[in-house]
Amino acid sequence: MASKDQTIGALVLVVCVLGIVVYGWLVFLADEWLRLLILELTGFIAVAGILGIGAWIGWTMATTPPPKPIEELEAEIEEEKAEEEKAEEKPEEAKSKEAKPEKKKK
């Protein structure tokens, strides 16, 4: 027995092949006015889709904040490395701080 995904895949295949046949008939065998209408609609949808993707990219670029400059990122990384080195130099102090219990205030 075929799985649900295989059944849906077969259905998509049949619908797409049928769409190709109908589109071919509309473009090559239909009346002249219908051929022109189909070609005009196809061209419009293709151009509108490409320009729509371009508009989406432009909107995304216009509304996204700029990234930090590389110099700032390098400075942050250097600061983090310096902090890590300080922590590695004094592990006894960190252990002694952890070992001392805090006094509770009454």
**Phi, psi angles (nearest 5°) of residue 34:** -70, -40
Of the pLDDT bands very low, low, confident and very high (cuts 50, 70, 90), residue 99 is: low
User: Higher model confidence: residue 25 or residue 96?
Assistant: 25
**Rounded-to-integer distance, Cα 66 and Cα 98, Å:** 42
Distance CA 29, CA 23 (A): 10
pLDDT tens-digit series, residues 53-85: 999 999 999 999 988 888 888 888 999 988 888
Of 18, 40, 14, the C-alpha closest to 27 is: 40
**pLDDT digits 0-9 by tens, 6-50:** 999 999 999 999 999 999 999 999 999 999 999 999 999 999 999
Residue type, 33: W
Query: What is the average per-residue pLDDT within 84-103?
Result: 66
Specify the pLDDT at position 85: 84
pLDDT value of position 106: 52
CA distance 73 to 65: 16
Measured distance CA(48)–CA(39) in Å, rounded: 14
Rounded to whole angstroms, the Cα distance separating 59 from 46 reads 20
Please state whether the predicted TM-score (pTM) of the whole model is above 0.75: no
